[in-house]
Amino acid sequence: MIFKTAFHALTTAFKGLSLTVKHLFGARKARQELDITKDNYFDKQDGIATVQYPKVKMPIPEVARYQLEVEIDDCIVCDLCAKACPVDCIAIEAIKSPEAIGKTSDGSIKRLYPAKFDIDMAKCMYCGLCTVVCPTECIVMTNQYDRSSTKLTDLIYGFSDMTDDQVAQRKSEWTKFQAEKEAAKSK
Amino acid sequence: MLDLFIHILVPVAIFTFIAIFTLFAVYAERKIAGFVQDRLGPMETGKYGSLQTIADILKLLQKELITPLLADKILFRLAPIIIFVAVFTGFSVMPWSQDFIPVNTHTGLFLIMAIVSIDAIGILMAGWGSNNKFSLLGSMRAIAQMVSYEIPVGLSLIAAVMLTQTLNLNDIATNQGVLATEEIKFLGVWSIKNVGGIFAWNIFQAPHMIVTYIIFFIATLAECNRAPFDIPEAESELVGGFHTEYGGIQFAFLFLAEYAMMFLVSMLGVVIFLGAWNTPLPNMGALKLANWTTGFAWGIFWTFSKSLFLVGVQMWIRWTLPRLRADQLMNLCWKVLTPLAFLCMAISAIWRILVIV
């Protein structure tokens, strides 16, 4: 019985060894097709599977959905994306404006200034829910996937184009407007 | 004076060889592991990663020696030295080529068996001295394994020695080729003294010697704690086993001992079973291949290439087979290898009396 088991172990070990030696000598060439959209992709997968990443890059789909990008001029600062985000990686701070600021490219009227529009790419899980809810389609996923950094804070992308002075100015405009309204009301 | 110089030179040469071999073998191991798994292995340091192990050893040499607070300081410090010295001393009786052997002693094989066993004590010292449960578990497993597997190794060697009738490794080596001083027969029937080559090797002296060699090979794999018998240092269960707490140059020495042990057992297998420094090419009529490829430099070449081939096989096995469970390990040793080795020993005795005479 025990000899039967041992013999079985030997034969299966031999089977495994012949498989690995096939791979050992098959390592002389690398797989030839990296693009999964090609028809013969699965026929050319023998050999080394490693892709030496920074030197060689895998082809990415035509419509890739990787890191987020915000076209801030089209943003109406509605905060829907931040609310939709399952991991809360989007932080938005809005400043109200006394009158309409302008129009986005699809005709929506902008009434809020984006004082802060930060996306923490280290938290983002690439679900794309923010792009779905966006009414003006200003937040999109791009084909950029690599932004390695030694500092974690580098992965917080700021999309707001307002300077500190501008923020302070808009804030004071709004407080002034409100104070005027209060004053008008109390009169 | 010259004697003293030679006495110093030989160990230094062997140590240099072990160090260079280890650097080479670690690189080869990582490359083989990569290729077997369809990866590339180290690629960044130097051309095709060829400087990777040199970078590794430089890093190890620079590291601080850390002794755990509650470790047994003496045992902890002593263990790597004992482990390395045990393996290192084993090389003193290994023949590299015709009459090219550090010590030509009549009890060479006996010495190797005795001195390599000290390795086990070193591992126990390392495990106990580290005062770490992973280390202790690892070293306990190592002791159980090494002590058990000493038996099939010893028995298979006895089976071979019964045919060679000598423990002198130099004589064993000489009697496996065209330079033999005794009558040698292929499978006990075909006198082959003038033909030489692969047919004159001990492994073909009798039909059961092939089985004996397989027993020896499996048991020595376990002796050097190599996969699939690497339960003493099972990374996935025991962190690093007995060398968990070691770092820096102490770890380097443990590593050196492991690879030296691999080469030592491969070379021992080559010397006892696979014709030592004798050529695998036989004389065929006018083609005196065996005579042409026998000589001092050829001897070193054959010893090297055969041993390196066996080291390669060990690596190939390591990256193919999964680790055995402790009970499977003991089953294999006590219920399969040991009885088989006894059987081989008995056949050897009968063979010696009835066939070789």
- pLDDT, one tens digit for every residue, chain B (357 residues): 888 888 888 889 889 999 899 988 999 999 888 888 888 888 888 888 888 888 988 988 898 888 888 888 888 888 889 989 988 888 888 888 887 888 888 888 888 888 888 888 888 888 888 888 888 888 888 888 888 888 999 999 988 888 888 888 888 888 887 777 777 777 777 777 777 778 888 888 888 888 899 999 999 988 888 878 887 777 777 777 788 888 888 888 888 888 998 899 999 999 888 888 888 888 777 777 777 777 788 888 988 899 999 999 988 888 888 888 888 888 888 888 899 899 999 998 888 888 766
Most A CBs within 10 Å, among B31, B32, B36, B313, to test the A interface? B36
Note whether A13 contacts B: Cβ–Cβ < 8 A.
yes
Residue B321 Cα, gap to closest chain A Cα (Å):
7
Residue B52 Cα, gap to closest chain A Cα (Å):
17
Domain ranges (residues) in chain A: 2-44, 68-165
Tell which residue, A81, A77, A67, has the closest CA to residue A132.
Answer: A81
* Cα(B127)–Cα(B254) distance, integer angstroms: 12
* Cα(B99)–Cα(B80) distance, integer angstroms: 32
Q: Residue B357 has what pLDDT?
A: 64
Q: What burial letters (b/e) apply to B168-197, b meaning 16+ CB within 10 Å?
A: bbbbbbbbbbbbbeeebbbebeeebbebbb
Per-residue DSSP letter, A98: S
Among A6, A9, A24, beta carbon nearest to B32: A24
* Cα(B264)–Cα(B214) distance, integer angstroms: 17
What are the tens digits of pLDDT across the range A113-140?
A: 888 888 988 888 988 899 999 888 888 8
Residue B209 near residue B185 (C-beta atoms within 8 A): no
Among A3, A16, A52, beta carbon nearest to B321: A16
Which stretches does DSSP call E strand in B178-302?
A: 185-186, 190-191
Is this complex scored with an ipTM above 0.85?
no
Query: And the tokens for A149?
Result: 């950094």
Among B37, B316, B335, beta carbon nearest to A2: B335
- Give chain A positions within 8 Å (CB) of B34: 27
A4 pLDDT higher than 80: yes
Residue B265 Cα, gap to closest chain A Cα (Å):
21
- Give chain B positions within 8 Å (CB) of A52: 40, 43
Average pLDDT, stretch A84-107?
A: 86
pTM: 0.81
Q: CB contacts < 8 Å between A and B, how many?
A: 46
CATH class of A68-165: alpha beta
